Amino acid sequence: MAHRDSLMNRVIDHGASSYLRLVRGIEALTPLFDLSVRLYLANIFWKGGMVKLSSWMSTVMLFTMVYDVPVLPPEVAAYLSTAVELGGSFLLVIGLAGRWAALSLFGLNIVAALSYGQLSEAALQEAFYWGVLFLYFVLHGPGLISVDALLDRIYRRRHTMSTTDAAIPKQPIFHNA
């Protein structure tokens, strides 16, 4: 009986350690997942911004006649949406101000879905998925492969060094004999 319990404990220990190694391996892929989703979303909205820029007169006409953007005049809405698409996409790709970039693109996504009344059910579903992915970055941040993460590491290193320096009493270099 004791031998069986010992064997069972070894199996459980081995299984638990194998499971933890597997989880650590999967978690190591999280930064690459974050980067790939950021690139995917940024590509979609970058292309939208570039299309708007390529034919500005058509863009303003669409905002005047097709898109029903509330509150804003059509030309202002066209400028604003183009700036958010291009600027937000760029910031999302490099991961600088990643939460704010994701939040601005999330808002643009909502306004676009609501203001264009002729969206198909599939297009609305796609906009919903994009919105969920943007919310992921709003809540989670852009991930470890980002300028935000680099700036955070630099800040923490400097803060840790300044705290350590403050804790060490300063001694004179030369002592008077």
Query: For tokens 């391996």, what's the residue?
Result: 25
Contacts of 148 by beta carbon, 8 Å cutoff, 6+ apart: 95, 96, 97, 98, 99, 141, 142
Structural domain contains residue 59: yes
Structural domain contains residue 17: no
Structural domain contains residue 83: yes
Structural domain contains residue 8: no
pLDDT band at 165 (very low <50, low <70, confident <90, very high): low
Structural domain contains residue 24: no
pLDDT per position as a tens digit, 97-141: 999 999 999 999 999 999 888 889 999 999 999 999 999 999 999
- Give the residue numbers spanning the domain of 102: 30-165
Q: Are 124 and 97 in contact (CB under 8 A)?
A: no
Q: What is the pTM of this model?
A: 0.83
pLDDT band at 176 (very low <50, low <70, confident <90, very high): very low
Structurally, how many domains does the chain consist of? 1
DSSP three-state, residue 74? helix
Structural domain contains residue 49: yes
Cα(7)–Cα(30) distance, rounded to whole angstroms?
35
